[in-house]
Amino acid sequence: MTTQPPSFSPDPSRKRQRPRNPSLEQQKEEDFSPSIPHSLKESDSPINSELSDHQTLPPSFSPRVDRRAVPERRSIRHQDTGTPTSDHCESSGSRSTPLPGQEVPHRVQATMPPSFQPARRTPLTSPHPHPARSAPASSPRFSGFTPTNRVSPSTVPARSPGRKRRRWPGFLVGVLVTAILIFVGWPAFLIWDANAHLERVSALSAAPDTPGTTWLLAGSDSRADGAVSDGAEGQRSDSIVLIHQAPNGQTSMVSIPRDTYVEIPEYGWSKINAAYSYGGPELLVQTVEKLTTLTVDHYVEIGMGGVAHIVDSLGGIELCMDMDVSDEYSQLNWTAGCHVSDGTTALAFSRMRYADPLGDIGRTQRQRQVISQTVATALSPSTLVHPGRTLSLERAGSSAITVDKNASVLDVARLLLAFKKAQKDQLVGAPPIASLNEQTAAGSSVLLVDTTAPRFFSAMRTGTLTAEDFIQKF
């Protein structure tokens, strides 16, 4: 016999008592009294007379019999007949609730017919047996009740991920596509657009190649772009910069003064800037190759207006000079110190030479400073991560630069990286100068050591230059 937990036992205090109506009960008794034998009336029954003071609850409010346990069979003999019977037969199948203070008659449990006996349940078995858990002893609700089987946590199916987790692959794909467009698509567009706007000119010679890579950067003083309106006619190479990357990786940058006395092919000895006015970029390249014994691989030219436009696209660059200047030729007005300069000021800063005690040597130093600050600002993260600024820089540079027919924007980019490396290694300057004011057939000229500085350019070609080779001793 299974003992029921206290929580399943009927609570006598919850049974409701129906109010009595004497008149209604008397009427019912009169209506049914003719058909009921006198021997079966309530007043003649010894048990019903004892419980006649209260009303029996309807069957729906009676507590359910515990069908899970087989009731204990207790037989007694009827007082009158002596036959075995049960306490469930004391009244016609209904049970009454005792009143407060009233003695409850003895009851016995009746044996249920076989058809109403509950079937014995087979305990569930788990493929992964585990010890049963017992309820806390302090809890009266679970006293006497021990679970016999539980489902193992390992057999519970895993919870399927929610919608948000299923969206993660799509989100990552979107981020990847966006990153590709930013880091690949945008630079590719800038390269294509720059190549489309670059101007090209025939400049390279047919001289045999020399080891390494050599770039020739020339600044034109042509007034055709309107950057300077001083009435001067024609055009010359206002600045000449030779950048060479030797086979051993050494990168050096040499600024050749514009008044350097050299031999121009088919024209004889004259100032080097005259080569541009005589035969344009091609004759200038041939003159530089004859002086340095290096074959030029790429030619890059920029006008005075291009310098101003590039600097303005960067929002200005910081330039420094330790003297006050007021030069009417270059229109430069400068206070000693460092200042953020716009395009017009940067152009005047790189052109000024009459107010400089070093003359053309001082001008080449300021030109390298303008180029250095422009490259540093253009390659800074603040410029590269700003799409509007990079597009403005690309449009200003591609429209201001002219290259040889074999060059592309990638060659210009390699030129900027080579320039930056030369600056870092401190291999920048002018070739050794013997005199700044040498009187020649072309007038006052710059004369190099041994006329053409052969040992200097030989070391440059082999990549054996040192920082001391750029120190001037005139």
Cα separation values, 56 from 23, 42, 88, Å: 18, 13, 15
pLDDT at 210 over 80: yes
Q: Taking CA 49 as the corner, what is the angle to CA 46 and CA 51, rounded to the nearest 5 degrees?
A: 115
pLDDT at 1 over 60: no
> φ, ψ for residue 29 (rounded to 5)?
-70, -35
- Read off the DSSP letter of residue 451: B
Candidates 111, 177, 144, 213; CA nearest to 418 is 213
Lowest mean pLDDT among 18-27, 28-37, 43-52, 315-324: 43-52
Check residue 236 and give its pLDDT.
65
> φ, ψ for residue 63 (rounded to 5)?
-65, 145
Q: What is the pLDDT of residues 426-474, one digit of tens each?
A: 999 999 999 988 899 988 899 999 999 999 999 999 999 999 999 888 6
pLDDT at 156 over 90: no
pLDDT at 222 over 90: no
Q: What is the mean pLDDT of the chain?
A: 75
Lowest mean pLDDT among 152-156, 220-224, 445-449: 152-156
Tokens of 242: 């030779």
Q: Rg for the chain (alpha carbons), in Å?
A: 56
Calpha distance 370→378 (Å, rounded):
12
Q: Are 474 and 436 spatial neighbours (Cβ–Cβ below 8 Å)?
A: yes
CA 111 from centroid of its chain's CA atoms? 78
